[in-house]
Amino acid sequence: MESFTQYWQQINQNNLSSYINNQNENDVKNVLNLKKFDTKEAISALLSPSAKNYIEPLAKIAKKITRQRFGNIVNFYLPLYLSNICSNECTYCGFSMNNNIRRKILNEHEIIQECKAINAQGISHFLLVTGEHNGKVGMEYFCRYLPLIRRYCNLLLMEVQPMSQEEYTILKKIGLDGVLVYQETYDMNSYNTSHLKGKKTDFFWRLETPERIARAGINKIGLGVLIGLSDNWRVDCYIAAQHLLYLRNIYWRSSYSISFPRLRPFIGKYSANYSLTIDDIDLLQVMCAFRLLMPEVEISLSTRESPIFRDNVTPIVINNISAGSKTNPGGYASNKKELEQFVISDNRSPQEMYQVLLSAGLQPIWKDWDSYLGRI
């Protein structure tokens, strides 16, 4: 069976960029009148600069599809940072191995304290996050602590280093529900200049990770593009769309989500090297395009984004949202801001966000299933 790597290798990204940018307003209007949007022409038109002029009708269609597919439900989740130790040198992350920060790996007692602190906020959907370090925070660590963490949550996702299919199979057996793995950028030149040392320099190992996750039988798989890492975010998003379509068609037993985080300030050697390359309307355009493209794919939004943007966008396209996030190990129990991966933009608590969602006519969900229903 071919992998997505073979598809990626056939793409001429310069030609693709020109094709997207040359879509005109008539192309956009024609696409907005379609019933299905999963063609090359439709994706290109919806991601094109011309589509920005049609953001209102695009958002209207996206909101209608969101309500039809998901009702008014928006799920809460919180990231639980287990460590900030990392064996990679990346130019956009506060956890990069070259940064002179204090490193920490949570022990059993600290993990329990974090879980209890998150539960005290009403949250039972956990996203486990670490720096990437197979030696110190790898399978031995995960196998020891996942069953413990599972006692405190109803949905358990991970965003850690890419693993083998066999390792994902083991993690599923001990309680893992899903894995998020962001390619960051699909442009190899940008990828190589952003990932300087460590296992993360292997572009194709990361690119093929979602396929290993799916073959392991993991139910939920999340993809994402880090907006601002590449100069051409439209091409990145187009290839991410094709990646999702490929996975959905081949590994249809898994469910999928997508996220489009924008670069945020952080403390470190390279902290001044990047600036945002996409405005709020552009980002909304991308999210709406993906809603039209794949109505069943969940779209997630983190506290990287501002309160105003989150409040405006969530009723249109968002399925999963974090609130009160801490991006440092031990941050919930200690409430300290040191050791952060990046700076949070929206500091509102889950309870505050709950009221915001209610006032928007949405139905915020703390827990969407129970363990007695069984596991797939």
Concatenated DSSP letters of 346-364: ----HHHHHHHHHHTT-EE
Q: For residue 155, list its beta bridge partners.
A: 125
Beta-carbon contacts of 236 under 8 Å, excluding residues fewer than 6 positions away, are 185, 186, 187, 225, 227, 229, 230
pLDDT exceeds 90 at position 154: yes
Whole-number pLDDT of residue 264: 74
Between residues 11 and 277, the one the model is more confident about? 11
Q: How far apart are CA 27 and CA 42, in angstroms?
A: 8
pLDDT band at 372 (very low <50, low <70, confident <90, very high): very low
pLDDT exceeds 80 at position 195: yes
pLDDT digits (tens, 9 = 90+) for 113-140: 999 999 999 999 999 999 999 999 999 9
pLDDT exceeds 70 at position 86: yes
Domains recognised in the chain with CATH numbers: 4-368 (3.20.20.70)
- Beta strands 220-224; 73-81: pairing state: unpaired
Q: Which of 111, 86, 81, 83 is nearest to 97 (CA)?
A: 86
- Contact criterion met (CB below 8 Å) for 126 and 235: no
DSSP class of residue 319 equals: S
- What is the mean predicted confidence (pLDDT) over 210-230? 96
Whole-number pLDDT of residue 43: 96
Between residues 278 and 217, the one the model is more confident about? 217
- What is the mean predicted confidence (pLDDT) over 308-335? 94
**Radius of gyration of the chain measured on its C-alpha atoms:** 20
pLDDT digits (tens, 9 = 90+) for 294-316: 999 999 999 999 999 999 999 99
Q: How many CA atoms lie within 13 A of 264 on its CB side?
A: 17
pLDDT band at 158 (very low <50, low <70, confident <90, very high): very high
One DSSP character per residue, 75-142 reads EEEEEEE-B---S-EETT-TT-TTS-----B--HHHHHHHHHHHHHTT--EEEEE---BTTTBSHHHH
Whole-number pLDDT of residue 227: 92
> Taking phi first (over 0 means left), then psi (-120 to 50 degrees means alpha), and beta for anything else, what does residue 238 get?
alpha
The answer to whether the Cα torsion of 338, 102, 225, 364 is positive or negative is negative
Mean pLDDT score of the chain: 92
pLDDT digits (tens, 9 = 90+) for 225-246: 999 899 899 999 999 999 999 9
Whole-number pLDDT of residue 336: 67
Q: How far apart are CA 263 and CA 276, in angstroms?
A: 6
**Residue reference for tokens 């050791």:** 339
pLDDT band at 102 (very low <50, low <70, confident <90, very high): confident
pLDDT exceeds 70 at position 272: no
Record the tokens describing residue 239, joined without a space: 């290839």
pLDDT exceeds 90 at position 166: yes
The per-type count for the chain, helices as H runs and strands as E runs, is 16, 11
Residues in the chain: 376
